[in-house]
Structure 1
Amino acid sequence: MPDFWKITPGGNPTILLETGAVPRALRARAAAEIMDPLHLSGEQVGFVRFASPSEPTPRLDMMGGEFCLNATRAFAALLAREGCLNASGPDRWSGSVEVSGADGPVAVRVRRVPAFHAPAGWTAGAGLSFKTSRPSVVKENASLIRVPGIAHILLENISPPPTDALPAACAELRARFDLDAEDAVGCLWLDTRSDPPILYPVVWVRATQSLCTESACGSGTLACALALRARCGDSRFAIRQPGGDVLTVSFEPETDTPPQIGKTRLVWVDGPVRFVAEGRLFLACLQV
């Protein structure tokens, strides 16, 4: 089996390694080395465990223990390609995975599509259950929206700062909402004047102290859809990512749950997934 897989889930180049490839104590150092432009180059790193008789549910752990929707979609496509998900129809697969930062199993679905429909050849979705109402905190012109494993700060129809000013701007936003102790924080600039709206996401991960201007952000797309739905009540949203791909968010009908939990609904984030590379991996941090 390869040492790594490089996958782009609608942008957001993601490197996946098997869990045993890097000791847990070295994961943050390994992720920083792997993401370097002179190494494999990518925006995030995840560590995956395939199903086994003793651990029947596949698992993804992100480099900082955060939750990542796009990495989950990438992992789902990999599982489908390797025959590790249940077939749900011709060229369709479904199942569930465990993911760091998520309270329980995450539903996944994958479809193999002809290249003339989607150049990536694959689409994958991840589904999360949410309570019907998800309030956000508003301070000045920014809204705080929490999704599993990551907090997002949303700014609508405001131009993002220049690249050299992004670190300070994101640090100020984190401080405004007192989020420096979070595993991961996204700062989202969303232009709703475009059709579809265009997202500009910047994600900070505490464990690696990395600040990445991402070419796509699944959880950020979900956060944007939650904010838009609170205003208009629609059940489906399409949001264009900086890399050009479009991710869709769809809200299923409410389901009955125990009164102490409240009504919930399943929310899906779907989009293209491209397999880029797989092979041997050499890490300096493992040679010491």
Structure 2
Amino acid sequence: MKQMIDFVKCNPTQNMTILINTMLPRDEHKRIASKIMSYDNVYAEQVGFIEPTMNQEADAFLQMAGGEFCGNACMALAAFLANEHGLEHYETNEIRLEVSGAERLVTCLITKNREDFQCRVDMPLPEKIEQTVLHDDRFPIDMVVVKYKDFIHFVIEVERIDTDMKNNMLSLAKLIGPFLDTSMLGILLYNNITNHLTPLIYVHALNSAVWERGCGSGTASIGAYLAWKNKRNIETYIHQPGGTMLVKALYEQDRLTRLEIEGSVGIVAQGTAFIDTEVNLSAGEGIHEVSRV
């Protein structure tokens, strides 16, 4: 038996995102997401579910498949809603979203360009930023921990990235990710000379580890890290394998007070996906890995 699922596929900085527009029970999200993001189905790096909101100030509720927060998925949903509402070329609209993993509403300013959308997102602020050293079996790893209420990022400054480093980071995420009291772990390999970010995102609930082409929350965390490190406001472009995003971080009275990211998003496909009604995850799925960097 096949289950029909309405979806839209979006491209925020090549962080390919599927939004499900069919109402489904929350306990079905993991199964549906694992199947629809696979290579033999629609294929993407992440999946979010569009749900109605009970908050009169919000336009929609975005529930990510692993319960995590995702800035790029917010951009994708804002673009989809703006397109559905008939936003005209070069017109700007404000869209407010309830999002899993975020305590407050997320505000998105969306502008329709000729071929895609430009979106600025007011991002959640981290609860804590601190320097630490992780004592690995092979060597110590200097990192900065950027901790949010429901997810955590490790910022590691690097000069170059090779296959061995990526494999070590993937092993690290799989090793410690399941033991963190968060929905998502990000390992952000950052070159401060070239302003280049290579993000690995691990979501334990989905058994998913992805070297993302672009990461909105990771971009925000780099901005937060730079503001914390330099004790000043930051506005800079962060280059990633899939493109470039802008981050703005306001730092006032020895603390971070505002965090925004901005990037482009395109709507690349919309239609119906066909999903098997029964999938044996333990036998067939395993870790979902995408490594195209």
**Pairwise TM-score range, normalised by the shorter structure:** 0.7 to 0.9
Moved more, 28-37 or 136-145: 136-145
**The residue matched to 2:123 in structure 1 has which SS?**
strand
Aligned equivalents of 2:58 and 2:124: distance in 1?
21
Residue of 112, 121, 136 corresponding to 1:126: 121
CA, structure 1 residues 287+168, in 2 after alignment: closer, same or farther (shift >3 Å)? closer
Which position in structure 2 is the counterpart of 1:136? 130
2:55 and 2:187 map into 1 onto residues whose CA distance is 40
1:99-137 CA-partner distances (Å, limit 9, x unpaired):
00001111111011235xxxxx21112103537x84224
Task: Choose the corresponding residue for 1:251, options 245, 249, 252.
Answer: 249
Alignment-mate amino acid for residue 101 of structure 1: G
3-state DSSP of counterpart to 1:31: helix
How far apart in 1 are the matches of 2:260 and 2:181?
Answer: 28
Question: Does structure 1 conserve the Cα–Cα contact (< 8 Å) formed by 2:249 and 2:256?
Answer: no
Q: Alignment length, in residue pairs? A: 268
Q: Which runs of 5+ in 2 are unaligned?
A: 134-140, 281-293
State the alpha-carbon separation in 1 of the partners of residues 211 and 7 from structure 2: 23
Conservation of the 8 A alpha-carbon contact between 2:196 and 2:240: yes
Deviations 1:14-51 (A, max 9, x none): 0000251x332121111111111111110000001256
- Runs in 1 of length 4+ with deviation above 6 angstroms? 52-55
Is the 1:174–1:185 contact (alpha carbons within 8 Å) kept by the matching residues of 2? no
Residue 203 of structure 1: aligned partner:
201
Matched, 1:272 2:275: no
Secondary structure of residue in 1 paired with 2:39: coil
What is the CA RMSD across the aligned residues, in angstroms?
3.2
Contact map agreement 2:92 2:111 (CA 8 A) in 1: yes
1:183–1:56 CA distance, 2 compared to 1 (3 A): closer
Determine helix, strand or coil for the equivalent of 2:104. coil
Answer yes or no: is the 8 Å Cα contact 2:9–2:16 preserved in 1.
Answer: yes
- Aligned position for 2:137: none
Q: Please give the per-residue CA displacement for 1:69-96, whole angstroms capped at 9, x wherever unaligned.
A: 11011111111111189x9x96100031
Bigger drift between 134-143 and 172-181 goes to 172-181
* 1:7 lines up with 2:10 in the alignment: yes
Query: What is the DSSP-based 3-state SS (H/G/I as helix, E as strand, rest coil) of the residue aligned with 1:282?
Result: strand
Name 1:100's counterpart in structure 2: 100
- SS at 2:233's partner residue? coil
Higher strand fraction (1 or 2): 2
Which residue number corresponds to residue 258 of structure 1? none
Whether 2:283 is the aligned partner of 1:285: answer no
1:192 matched residue in structure 2: 192
TM-score normalised to structure 1 length = 0.81
**Contact conserved, 1:129 with 1:264, CA < 8 A, in 2?**
no
